[in-house]
């Protein structure tokens, strides 16, 4: 094997996916990943698309986060820069000035273990004809000034890099740097960082392409947390989502994962398709978000379902786990992969067992056999459940996993 089998097994056991593991264990999502790859190819070739995005939905435990990490591995193999964020109170989709720094904190160059865009920026600045190209982007005054001073590579260079990374300079600080670099005062229109962030995203998209990378993949997890917002924040969140998937970032693709009950419990139950455009239209400062919000809600309704694995896919998954466990711990399992499937199948309570349950049960059976040399017995299994998407953020997770209790053999 070309990867650390024990590390992969530990990742599967903990339920915390990471890209090296997800690249090798794709949970039967090869077809969907192939569709993502086609969209990536269109972005690389500069083809106009209806929406350079992909949105998936699934029940809790069916591998949404694992799927995103598989996309990460795919993008990395194609020389894409990757960002991944999970939406939360600290990473709210309705506040772009809060979201942007979180995206930058979780942006990785291909093969890098450390996040950051400083090297991307410096690599792009080394390319010829930069000034003419940046003028053609029609950026805001603030971001244009930022680029002018970066290209000067003199006063305040580290602070300007930090600004693009989300540690925003105040207007007075930027003016002071500009005066030191060019010897003259600077006048800028008064704007908010919420307005400026869209221009920041566009220039990062441009830097990534100029630095020689094929594209920028942004992965959004826990999208269903929009349902915890009140109406105003929810409307802005839809609008901001629409800005991402509208194609305004020519070298960027976004992939979103959302709980399967979101459309029924939020979009339909709260009549968001009717209420959101009306709400935004009645607020002049936010009216421009209306068409983007409608685009986002349409995309959510058309999201692709990560369906439960077919029997053959489950058997293939368990065979992979079987082989990994042997390789990780250097032992010979005293039964076949098919017999492992039959043991796990006997422990599952329903025919629609979640992917996460298949994985954990398989590993538990193998772990007990490895330690005790005999099979376990199941005392209790409670099903994984989707959580309610009521308004107002709660302290509890949005989705709840109830415990599975397995008895080990008595020695």
What average pLDDT is seen over the chain? 88
On whether the CB atoms of residues 33 and 74 are closer than 8 A, the answer is yes
Query: Quick one: pLDDT at residue 25?
Result: 72
On whether the CB atoms of residues 344 and 361 are closer than 8 A, the answer is yes
* 56 and 190 within one domain: no
Query: Quick one: pLDDT at residue 3?
Result: 64
**Residue 373: closest CA among 320, 318, 335, 319:** 335
List the structure tokens of 226.
């929009």
Query: Quick one: pLDDT at residue 389?
Result: 73
* 89 and 218 within one domain: yes
* 315 and 400 within one domain: yes
* 326 and 262 within one domain: no
Helix 193-210 with 141-152: angle, nearest 10 deg: 40
Reported as a pLDDT band with limits 50, 70 and 90, residue 133 is: confident
Give the end of a domain, one of 290, 305, 320: 305
Q: Is residue 46 part of a domain?
A: yes
* 179 and 51 within one domain: no
List the structure tokens of 152.
């000067």
Which residue blocks in 61-192 are alpha helix, DSSP H?
Answer: 64-77, 96-105, 118-125, 130-135, 141-152, 157-164, 171-182
Query: Quick one: pLDDT at residue 135?
Result: 79
* 254 and 219 within one domain: yes
Q: Is residue 124 part of a domain?
A: no
Query: Quick one: pLDDT at residue 211?
Result: 95
Tally of residues, the chain: 411
- Expressed in percent and rounded to 5, the helix, strand and coil fractions of the chain are 55, 10, 35
Query: Quick one: pLDDT at residue 335?
Result: 96
Q: What domain range is 171 assigned to?
A: 137-194
Question: What does the pLDDT look like over 2-46, one tens digit per residue?
Answer: 468 888 888 888 877 666 666 667 777 888 899 999 999 999 998
Torsion of CA 243, 296, 29, 362, to 10 degrees: 110
Q: Is residue 115 part of a domain?
A: no
Of 15-19, 36-40, 220-224, 334-338, least confident by mean pLDDT is 15-19
Query: Quick one: pLDDT at residue 265?
Result: 95
* 357 and 224 within one domain: no
Which residue has 């500069």 as its token pair? 46
Q: How far is CA 57 from CA 94, 158, 170, 296, 373, in A?
A: 20, 41, 40, 14, 40
* 300 and 235 within one domain: yes
Query: Quick one: pLDDT at residue 24?
Result: 67
Does pLDDT of 48 surpass 60? yes
Which residue has 């901001």 as its token pair? 240
Give the end of a domain, one of 194, 222, 239: 194
**Residue 15: closest CA among 386, 323, 377, 357:** 357
* 390 and 319 within one domain: yes
Total domains, the chain: 3
Q: Is residue 94 part of a domain?
A: yes
Of 140-144, 155-159, 323-327, 348-352, least confident by mean pLDDT is 348-352
Q: Is residue 203 part of a domain?
A: no
Taking residues 345-355, what's their average pLDDT? 76
Q: Is residue 12 part of a domain?
A: no
Give the end of a domain, one of 305, 329, 363: 305
Percent of the chain's residues with pLDDT above 90: 66
Dist. CA 228–CA 198, nearest whole Å? 24
We report the CATH number of the domain holding residue 272 as 3.40.50
Helices and strands (H, E) in the chain, number of each type: 18, 10
Question: What does the pLDDT look like over 262-299, one tens digit per residue?
Answer: 999 999 999 999 999 999 999 999 999 999 999 999 99
* 230 and 179 within one domain: no
* 282 and 220 within one domain: yes
Query: Quick one: pLDDT at residue 1?
Result: 42
pTM: 0.85
Q: How far is CA 196 from the centre of its chain?
A: 22
* 381 and 267 within one domain: no
List the structure tokens of 396.
């509890």
Q: Is residue 254 part of a domain?
A: yes
Q: Is residue 43 part of a domain?
A: yes
């Amino acid at each position: 094997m070309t990867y650390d089998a024990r590390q992969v097994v530990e990742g599967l056991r903990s339920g915390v996916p990471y890209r090296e593991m997800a690249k090798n264990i794709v949970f039967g999502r090869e077809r969907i990943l192939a569709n993502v790859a086609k969209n990536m190819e269109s972005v690389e070739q500069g083809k106009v698309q209806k929406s350079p995005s992909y949105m998936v939905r699934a029940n809790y435990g069916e591998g949404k986060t694992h799927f995103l990490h598989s996309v990460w591995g795919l993008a990395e193999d194609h020389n894409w820069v990757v960002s991944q964020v999970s939406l939360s109170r600290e990473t709210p989709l309705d506040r772009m000035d809060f979201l942007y720094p979180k995206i930058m904190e979780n942006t990785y160059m291909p093969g890098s273990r450390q996040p950051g865009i400083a090297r991307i920026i410096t690599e792009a600045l080394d390319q010829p004809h930069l000034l003419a190209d940046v003028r053609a982007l029609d950026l805001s005054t603030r971001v244009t000034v930022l680029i002018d001073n970066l290209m000067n590579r003199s006063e305040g260079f580290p602070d300007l890099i930090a600004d693009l990374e989300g540690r925003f300079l105040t207007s007075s600080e930027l003016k002071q740097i500009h005066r030191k670099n060019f010897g003259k005062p600077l006048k800028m229109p008064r704007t908010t960082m919420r307005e400026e962030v869209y221009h920041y995203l566009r220039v990062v998209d441009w830097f990534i392409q100029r630095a020689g990378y094929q594209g920028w993949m942004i992965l959004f997890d826990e999208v269903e947390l929009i349902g915890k917002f009140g109406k105003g924040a929810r409307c802005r969140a839809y609008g901001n989502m629409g800005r991402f998937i509208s194609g305004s970032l020519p070298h960027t693709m976004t992939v979103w994962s959302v709980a399967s009950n979101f459309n029924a419990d939020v979009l339909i139950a709260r009549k968001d398709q009717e209420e959101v455009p009306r709400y935004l239209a009645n607020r002049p400062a936010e009216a421009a978000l209306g068409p983007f919000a409608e685009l986002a809600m349409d995309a959510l309704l058309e999201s692709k379902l990560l369906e439960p694995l077919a029997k053959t896919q489950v058997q293939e998954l368990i065979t992979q786990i079987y082989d990994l466990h042997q390789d990780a711990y250097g032992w010979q399992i005293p039964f076949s992969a098919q017999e492992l499937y039959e043991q796990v199948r006997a422990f599952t309570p329903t025919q629609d067992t979640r992917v996460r349950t298949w994985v954990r049960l398989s590993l538990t059976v193998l772990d007990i056999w490895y330690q005790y040399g005999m099979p376990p017995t199941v005392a209790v299994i409670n099903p994984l459940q989707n959580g309610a998407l009521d308004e107002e953020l709660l302290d509890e997770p949005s989705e709840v996993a109830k415990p599975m209790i397995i008895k080990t053999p008595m020695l």
